[in-house]
Structure 1
Amino acid sequence: MISVTEAFAILENFNYSRRIVELPLLNTRNHVLAERIFSPISMPPFRQATMDGYALCLHPESHYEIVGEIKAGDVFDKTLQPGQAVKIFTGAAVPHSAQAVIQIEKVRVEATALILQENIKPETNIRQKGAQISEQDLALEEGTLLQTAAIGFLAGLGRHTVKVYQKPSVAVVVTGNELVEIGNPLPEGKVYNSNTIMLQTALLNAGYEHTKTYKVKDDFQSTQVVLEQALAENDVVLVSGGISVGDYDFVGKALESLKVETLFYKVNQKPGKPLLAGVKEQKLIFALPGNPAASLTCFYIYVRPALYRYSGIDTRFGSALQLKMAHDFSVDNSRAQFLKALVSDEKVTILPHQDSAMLDSFVTANALAFLPEGQYEVYQNDAVNIYLL
């Protein structure tokens, strides 16, 4: 059995093989950019009016002659003379012969005569060409997480495809003869299969949509066949249950028969002691405990950071926040604990129902508090390590 710190170090040093694909811009949400992007244009590509008003060829007087109109997308190909103005709308190209734009609320119009109601300085209400970015400047660095603003920015530069790190496909393999699929009657001695949909939801929330689910009977041959199929069809395999030392826990033996190299097995933690991490042909396998709360805890602490690493996000294992406790708490445990917690007003409250089978307190939790093993007191306002969910 290894410590939590040792488990983190093993996964931190694992060689995550990343693949690069080119995707249409609309499909790159929550992907990580795999190239440096230099702007093919200046943005804006012309001097731009920042509001509705009148573009002026300045002269000493307050009276101007209106000689035209420019809508967004129009091109004004005449040269304004001093004392001339054109009506202009937000986003339209300001003529080169205009030095300022006065907003519509600060003028009086009488037929084609424009009367300024205040003085105006050159370049007022004009956004300069390249104010956001100039042609050939670095637009986005490799490693940028592509979300709404970044995608909109790239679209404004005219990019319709970009190179990103491909996200891994993930298998969810659930074991247990006692499991009944939701929507069916529940016979005595059985429980509903909550882990499949729970882990699928956790994966979706983390941005992983390409998942397959598999169900395994509690016998060696079925476990071996399904795990072999899952490894062949996916980049990462999550197994829920069957990894302990019971007579009907066949996952460990099946993985061994499939030549999966064990990175570690059993971590000195609660919940989730019987956690296994393994590798075969650069594919990671996590055998998670069958108890739902333990399974979800291990997902947040170990699986999600590993998936991020595959996807080009350089997340650090064990990277936690430090926040103050809202109350006193006694620790008396030979294993390090990840405790379901609620963070509110930057204070940490440890929730009830910490049992590894209980999900009800996870419903309220927005964090996991890490408390090392030992016998000691944590007092109100003491700082503890927190993993936000």
Structure 2
Amino acid sequence: MIKVEEAIAIIEANSTKMPWKSIPVSKALGYVLAEKVISPINMPPFRQSAMDGYAFKHGIRHQYDIVGISQAGDHSNFKLKPTEAVRIFTGAYVPNDADTVVMQEHVMASEDSILIAKMPEPFANVRNKGEQIKANDVVFEANTLITPAAIGFLACLGITEITVYKKPKVAILVTGNELVKPGKKLSKGKIYESNSLMLQAALQTIGINKIKVHTVKDNLKATKKALQFILKKNEIVLISGGISVGDYDFVKEALLKNGVEELFYKINQKPGKPMFFGSKKDTLVFALPGNPASSLTNFYIYVYSAVKNRMGFSNTNLLKIVRKLDNDIVNNTGKTLFLKALYNEISVEILDGQSSAMLNSFAVANGLVIVPEDVENIKKGELVTILPID
């Protein structure tokens, strides 16, 4: 049995990034850049008006003759005298002889002239060429997550394809004779299977949306056969249940018989002690406890960072924050505790229902309070470390 810090270090050392691929920008949402992107153009590519109004050369005058119209998409470079202005619209080309745009709300206009009632500052309401970004500047560094805004920015620069890290193929294997799919009749001795839906949802928060779910009975032969297939098809495998030391827990044996290298088994923590981590070639295997709260806790502590690492993120771990404790904590287990909690801007409350089988408190928690294995007591008002999970 190893310490939490050792388990995290082993997983980090074995979570290599996925290979690269080029994809259209339109399909890049949720991917992570594998290399930096350089802007091919200035943005804006010419001086643009930021307002609907009138373009003119700033000076002491307030009255100007209107000599033309500049609409978005036009490229009419009017030759303006100091006494002349151009009617202009948002995004339109600002003539070279103009340096300022006055908002239409700040002028009194007739058919062929304007009188500026409220004079803007020189150079106001003009977006300069390259104001957002200049040609050959870096648009995004490598390891940047592609968001909707990033897609919009890349598109406005005329970029149609980028190089990203592939997303790992992820499978979930659920074990247990007692499990029934939600929606079906629940007979005596059976419980509804929830871990696969829970883990899928947790993976989706990272950006993994295509997940294969497999089920198997508590049987060594069936478990071995299922894993043989799953290990060939995926880069990350999550297994729910069957990893403890019961008579019907066959997952560890089935993994070893399939050539999975054991990197650690069991962690000195509560909840979530019976966890297996291993690898086979480029595939990472996490055999998680069957108890729902234990399974989700270990997902946040271990699986979350590994998946993000493989996806190409530079910052992969959950952030840590510090708050004042609202309750006393007693840790007489000699283990690291991860306690479901509810925090605000000032303090944190440890919730009732810390059992490894209970999800009701997890469903309202927004953080996990970490109690190190060598800390026996934490008093109300003392500072504690929290992993936000909201």
Given the two structures, how large is their TM-score scaled by the length of structure 2? 0.96
Amino acid at match of 1:287: A
Equivalent residue for 2:338?
338
Q: Distance in 2 between matches of 1:315 and 1:102?
A: 45
The residue that corresponds to 2:371 in the other structure is 371
Residues 159-216 of structure 1: per-residue CA shift (max 9 Å, x gap): 1221111111110000000111111111101111111111111111221012100001
- Which whole-Å CA distance do the structure 2 matches of 1:384 and 1:80 have between them? 67
Q: Report what 2:70 is aligned to.
A: 70
Q: Is contact 1:31-1:164 (8 Å) kept?
A: yes
CA-CA distance at 1:99 after TM superposition:
2.2
What SS class does the counterpart of residue 151 from structure 2 fall into? helix
SS at match of 1:252: helix
Distance 2:109 2:385 in 1: 65
Aligned to 1:114: 114
What is the CA distance between 1:82 and its match in structure 2?
2.2
1:8–1:317 contact (8 Å) kept in structure 2: no
Amino acid at match of 1:309: N
For the residue of structure 1 that corresponds to 2:296, the secondary structure is helix
Query: Matches of 2:364 and 2:230 in 1, distance apart?
Result: 33
Matching residue of 1:354: 354
| CA separation of 1:385 and 1:60: change in aligned 2, threshold 3 A | closer
Corresponding residue for residue 188 of structure 1? 188
Higher deviation after alignment, 188-197 or 25-34: 25-34
* Local SS of the residue matching 2:187: coil
Listed as ranges, the gaps of 5+ residues in structure 1 are: none
Match for 2:247: what amino acid? D
1:312-371 CA deviation, whole Å, 9 max, x = no partner?
A: 113355763222212322222222111111112231111111000110001110111111
- Go from structure 1 to structure 2 and tell me whether the alpha carbon gap of 1:59 and 1:192 turns closer, same or farther (over 3 Å shift): closer
The residue that corresponds to 1:82 in the other structure is 82
1:276-304 CA deviation, whole Å, 9 max, x = no partner?
00000121000000111101111111001
**Per the alignment, in what secondary structure is the counterpart of residue 134 of structure 1?**
coil
1:275 partner amino acid: M
- Number of aligned residue pairs: give it: 389
Show the 5 A alignment for 1:196-211. 196-211=196-211
3-state SS, counterpart of residue 6 of structure 2: helix
Residues in 2 aligned to 1:182 and 1:362: alpha-carbon distance in whole angstroms: 20
Residue pair 2:308, 2:316 contacting (<8 A) in 1 also: no
Once the two structures are TM-superposed, the CA of residue 119 in structure 1 deviates from its matched residue by: 4.2
Q: Counterpart of 2:33?
A: 33
Contact kept, 8 Å, 1:332 with 1:374, in 2: the verdict is no
Alignment partners' CA distance in 2, 1:161 and 1:224: 41
- Which secondary structure state, in structure 1, belongs to the residue aligned with residue 376 of structure 2? strand
Counterpart position of 1:124: 124
Which runs of structure 1 show a deviation greater than 3 angstroms over 4 or more consecutive aligned residues? 57-61, 118-122, 315-319
Which range is displaced more, 330-339 or 276-285?
Answer: 330-339
Q: What CA distance in whole angstroms lies between the structure 2 residues aligned with 1:120 and 1:348?
A: 51
Taking only the aligned residue pairs, the percentage that are identical comes to 46
- Counterpart residue identity of residue 381, structure 1: G
RMSD: 1.6
User: Is the Cα contact below 8 Å between 2:238 and 2:287 reproduced in 1?
Assistant: yes
1:133-153 Cα deviation digits (max 9, x unpaired): 111111111111111222221
Q: Give yes or no for contact 2:102–2:119 (8 Å, CA) kept in 1.
A: no
Gaps of 5+ in 2: none
TM-score under structure 1 length normalisation? 0.96
